[in-house]
Amino acid sequence: MSRTFFTALFLIWCGVIMAVYALVMIPAGSGVEARLPSAIFELRMIILPFFTQGSSL
């Protein structure tokens, strides 16, 4: 694996981790959640149950 390729993969990985973290951590019912673009809100609704199974936030 070349250095450039690994660096690119690593940066994408960091971006994905931080994006998922941001989507999961937005407080439910908050103003931030209300202002999310619909596509991102949908994405949040797909990801969230994976880490909140059986619970209500």
Binding site for other proteins (CB under 8 A): 3-4, 6-7, 9-11, 13-14, 17-18, 20-22, 24-25, 48, 50-57
Cβ pair 1, 21 in contact under 8 A: no
Beta carbon nearer to other proteins, 21 or 42: 21
Token pair belonging to 13 = 């990985």
Between 14 and 42, CB nearer to other proteins:
14
Q: For tokens 């960091």, what's the residue?
A: 14
Residue 44 CB, nearest approach to other proteins (Å): 11
Cα distance between residue 2 and residue 49, in whole Å: 37
